[in-house]
């Protein structure tokens, strides 16, 4: 793994590279946003890529090729430049390149990138470090300018990305868990520290559910876990409500051919927070968890908390709930929300995020496709856009870079 990391990562310090600023930290002198852009991407043992390097500039990048060529794999690699599990939420061991017999390469994988923000550059590397001892666990390692960092949240203070994939087209038709992940992804772009409470809450939730399933209703263990659930759970809910409230002001406006939307977080905890201060709601959630131990044990899971909340979206013009809108309107609403988040993030943090848009134009009519391209260019973000046919992107002319992908190989067009 050390050899993998030595290919493409520079030594030195990240001190010269400015962290993406929180809203309160943006100096008054910033009058126009900087662009976050990947100028070099190196993939090692990643999905279908044995060893590939791609050089780019700040323009949007169009990746074309047949299905299965590796376009989404490349976007997934880029999604590992920010905190989280990537756009596929795959297990780390599933990402390693498959060999001829379809088994996974056992030497780990790595993604290395040179990023620029304004006149500053930095090197980021991340990948799978395989455990040396049988009892140890494989882990994801992250380096910034050659220095290992301990927290993914720290990575989020330097980089940011928003994405849309074809799998998300059913977001409004399936369960609330996908919508919660979607809104948490949006919020992490606005507030990278949101990832910490989310990870801590999920860990505590798994621990409590396991104790309940195993019938181990030890009061001391459960008190400790429920303390963590209440503390992190209310932090999550408050962050969601605040961020969605700020985003609503941007989403409400129609932009180009994409409708405005009315968005909100809904759930029991959110109702409590509407009437009581956060500390009081934290105590209330802790008490509710304690009171529901027996019923939750019988039901096989925790019945109350922010993991039961939902993200509500209503079409701003028709006032129809997103789940009963047409497929085309649902996709238009999703695109509108992601672009609104990118605009809000640029305004609050002073930097445009990367946009990873997989097969984004495939099911848009000509009017919405043209509007999407115009909005991306107006935003000034480096968007990475995939599609099967290059002609769809002809209106973009030389305002984008174009690469064809075939069998894990790149060719600049």
Instruction: Express each pLDDT in 176-185 by its tens digit.
Output: 999 999 999 9
Provide the CA 153 distance to its chain's centre, in angstroms: 12
Rounded-to-integer distance, Cα 100 and Cα 232, Å: 45
Instruction: State the pLDDT at residue 194.
Output: 94
Q: Which 8-state DSSP code applies to residue 255?
A: B
Instruction: State the pLDDT at residue 16.
Output: 36
Considering the chain, what percentage of its residues have pLDDT values greater than 90? 74
Is 242:291 a contact under the CB 8 Å cutoff?
no
Per-residue pLDDT, averaged over 138-167, amounts to: 91
Give whichever of 10-19, 79-88, 309-318, 389-398 has the largest mean pLDDT.
Answer: 309-318
Lowest mean pLDDT among 9-13, 40-44, 149-153, 182-186: 9-13
Per-residue pLDDT, averaged over 82-109, amounts to: 81
When pLDDT is cut at 50, 70 and 90, the band that residue 186 belongs to is: very high
Token pair of 70 as six digits: 């590796």
Instruction: State the pLDDT at residue 106.
Output: 67
Instruction: State the pLDDT at residue 30.
Output: 30
Strand-strand pairing, 409-412 and 261-266: unpaired
Rounded-to-integer distance, Cα 20 and Cα 99, Å: 39
Is 411:71 a contact under the CB 8 Å cutoff?
no
SS3 content of the chain, % helix, strand, coil (to 5): 45, 25, 30
When pLDDT is cut at 50, 70 and 90, the band that residue 130 belongs to is: confident
Collapse the DSSP code of 146 into the 3-class scheme (helix H, G, I; strand E, B; otherwise coil) and give the result.
coil
The closest alpha carbon to 248, from 121, 344, 155, 152, belongs to 344
When pLDDT is cut at 50, 70 and 90, the band that residue 102 belongs to is: low
The closest alpha carbon to 227, from 194, 198, 201, belongs to 201
Per-residue pLDDT, averaged over 363-390, amounts to: 94
The beta-carbon contacts of 388-395 under 8 Å, at least 24 apart in sequence, are 388/64, 388/65, 388/66, 388/67, 388/359, 388/362, 389/64, 390/62, 390/64, 392/361, 392/362, 393/62, 393/64, 393/361, 395/370
Q: Which 8-state DSSP code applies to residue 358?
A: T
Residue bearing tokens 């209106």: 395
pLDDT, averaged across the chain: 89
- Answer yes or no: is pLDDT of 22 > 60: no
Instruction: State the pLDDT at residue 379.
Output: 94
Q: Which helix (H) or strand (E) holds 405?
A: strand 401-406
DSSP track, 165-228:
-GGGGGTTTS-HHHHHHHHHHHHHHH-GGGHHHHHHHHHHHHHHHHHHHTT---HHHHHHHHHH
Rounded-to-integer distance, Cα 377 and Cα 371, Å: 10
Q: What are φ and ψ of residue 110, in 5° steps?
A: -150, 145
Query: In 69-158, which residue ranges form alpha helices assigned H by DSSP?
Result: 71-79, 152-156
Which domains can be identified in the chain, with CATH numbers?
Answer: 1-169+360-413 (3.40.50.300)
Q: Which 8-state DSSP code applies to residue 85?
A: S
- Answer yes or no: is pLDDT of 13 > 80: no
Instruction: State the pLDDT at residue 115.
Output: 95
Instruction: State the pLDDT at residue 101.
Output: 58
When pLDDT is cut at 50, 70 and 90, the band that residue 93 belongs to is: confident
Rounded-to-integer distance, Cα 213 and Cα 161, Å: 37
Instruction: State the pLDDT at residue 1.
Output: 37
């Amino acid at each position: 793994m050390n050899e993998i990391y030595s290919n493409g990562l520079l030594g030195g310090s990240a001190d010269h590279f400015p962290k993406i600023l929180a809203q309160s930290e943006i100096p008054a002198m910033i009058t126009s946003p900087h662009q976050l852009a990947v100028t070099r991407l190196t993939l090692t043992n990643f999905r279908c890529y044995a060893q590939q390097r791609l050089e780019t500039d700040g323009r949007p990048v169009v990746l074309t090729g047949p299905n299965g060529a590796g376009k989404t794999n490349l976007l997934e690699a880029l999604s590992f430049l920010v905190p989280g599990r990537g756009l596929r939420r795959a297990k780390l061991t599933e990402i390693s390149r498959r060999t001829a017999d379809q088994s996974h390469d056992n030497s780990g994988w790595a993604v290395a990138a040179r990023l620029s923000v304004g006149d500053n550059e930095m090197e980021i590397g991340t990948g799978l470090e395989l455990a040396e001892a049988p009892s140890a666990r494989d882990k994801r390692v992250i380096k910034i300018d050659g220095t290992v960092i301990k927290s993914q949240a720290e990575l989020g203070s330097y980089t940011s990305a928003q994405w849309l994939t074809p799998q998300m087209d059913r977001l409004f038709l399936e369960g609330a868990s996908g919508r919660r992940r979607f809104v948490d992804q949006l919020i992490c772009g606005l507030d990278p520290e949101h990832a910490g409470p989310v990870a801590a809450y999920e860990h505590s939730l798994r621990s409590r559910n396991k104790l309940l399933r195993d019938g181990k209703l030890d009061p001391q263990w459960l008190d400790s876990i429920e303390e963590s659930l209440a503390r992190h759970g209310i932090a999550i809910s408050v962050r969601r409500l605040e961020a969605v409230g700020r985003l609503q002001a941007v989403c409400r406006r129609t932009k180009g051919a994409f409708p405005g939307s009315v968005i909100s977080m809904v759930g029991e905890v959110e109702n409590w927070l509407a009437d009581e201060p956060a500390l009081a709601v934290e105590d209330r959630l802790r008490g509710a968890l304690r009171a529901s131990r027996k019923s939750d044990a019988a039901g096989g899971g925790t019945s109350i908390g922010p993991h039961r909340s939902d993200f509500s979206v209503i079409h701003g013009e028709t006032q129809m709930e997103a789940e009963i809108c047409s497929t085309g309107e649902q996709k238009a609403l999703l695109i509108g929300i992601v672009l609104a988040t990118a605009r809000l993030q640029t305004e609050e943090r002073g930097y445009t995020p990367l946009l990873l848009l997989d097969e984004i134009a495939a099911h848009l009519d000509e009017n919405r496709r043209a509007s999407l391209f115009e909005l991306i260019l107006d935003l000034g973000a480096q968007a990475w856009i995939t599609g099967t046919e290059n002609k769809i992107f002809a209106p973009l002319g030389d305002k984008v870079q174009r690469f064809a992908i075939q069998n894990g190989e790149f060719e600049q067009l």
